Amino acid sequence: TQLLEQSPQFLSIQEGENLTVYCNSSSVFSSLQWYRQEPGEGPVLLVTVVTGGEVKKLKRLTFQFGDARKDSSLHITAAQPGDTGLYLCAGARTGTASKLTFGTGTRLQVTL
């Protein structure tokens, strides 16, 4: 059972466009993380959100944690080819924070 559903599954856009990736669950998580994974590499942590309603910004990336701590979104402004990769959300529960439940993933391709 996949507890974290991401949408869209695939996204192909041109440089300069904006996009939003969604991560939804019916379960509550104590924190939610976003990772980016490039071919041949392991996932790299982008951000961790822990409070319902929290918004964090990382340059052109904006992350939001839902009020009920069941969902999250990642918004990229003015996408660049360097943003290309597999974006993964991952939820952690209290007491088992290292046992992450990963989302289904969103594969993003940004072309010139």
Of 56-64, 68-76, 77-85, 94-102, the segment contacting other proteins by CB under 8 A is: 94-102
Of 12-20, 43-51, 54-62, 64-72, the segment contacting other proteins by CB under 8 A is: 43-51
**Partners of 91 in the β-ladder:** 32, 101
Cβ-based nearer residue to other proteins, 40 or 82: 40
- Candidates 92, 44, 45, 42; CA nearest to 69 is 92
- Of 76, 90, 108, 110, which lies in the binding site for other proteins, with binding defined by CB under 8 A? 90
Region class of 105: left (phi > 0), else alpha (psi between -120 and 50), else beta: left
Asked whether position 79 contacts other proteins by CB under 8 A, the answer is: no
Question: Phi and psi (nearest 5°) for 82?
Answer: -65, -10
How many Å separate Cα 100 from the centre of its chain?
Answer: 13
Asked whether position 58 contacts other proteins by CB under 8 A, the answer is: no
To other proteins, the closest distance from the beta carbon of 40 in angstroms equals 6
Task: Give yes or no for a cis peptide into 8 (omega within 30° of 0).
Answer: yes
In the complex, the residues that contact other proteins under the rule CB under 8 A are 2, 40-45, 48, 88, 90, 92, 96-105
